[in-house]
Amino acid sequence: MPRNLSHPPISRSAPDTTHRERLESLFRWAEERTQRTIDWYLWRKTSRSRLSKACRAAAILLGVAGAALPLVHSAYPPGPAPEWGFVLLALSGGCVLADRLFGFSSSWTRFMRTQAALQAELAVAQARFLGWSGAQGDTEAVTPESAADLIAITQELIEKTSAVVLQETATWADDLTVQIDQADARFTSPGGPLAP
């Protein structure tokens, strides 16, 4: 799966194809375009979910280990020094911070919402196309009104797919701005590592 989202090229119809075949080919292109977008979000969602779960699991394990270390030391003095508990707690906090700064959990949920929205739009368009195709029957002739109906279905699928992707991109840009501002505030606040 490519790292960047890309769309299939519009297929050129052969000169001997009928008007109906050209119209259906255009819808199939829009359908494939939306399906590729869904597959891309599914692929991205899977990788983000793994990273999110890894960060959260590491935070929990390190936090529990850090809190339990002083108890272990009191029960078994030759064991690790209790001060190591602070190190483990700091690493646990670092895992949570990494998840927030890199947006693993937020992008995972955002990709899930986007994928579900795209699947819903595709299902509606496919149902409308099947209705149109059923109304056409076996005839190859397409009236201007019928052609306009299928073009409207195709155009609406393209527009709604683009709108969902643009909305997700805008949300990502807003999240990124918030994450950068939070990181700046943490590192440049009094006592922070980059404080003047």
Domain range list for the chain: 19-181
The CA-atom distances, in angstroms, between 128 and each of 23, 120, 135 are 14, 13, 11
pLDDT block averages, 10 residues each, the chain of length 196: 72 75 92 94 88 92 91 82 88 89 85 95 96 87 90 96 94 81 70 51
Contact 89, 62 (CB under 8 A): yes
Q: What is the pTM of this model?
A: 0.74
Which one, of 22, 16, 177, 2, lies nearest residue 101 by Cα? 177
What pLDDT is stored for residue 194 in this prediction?
Answer: 46
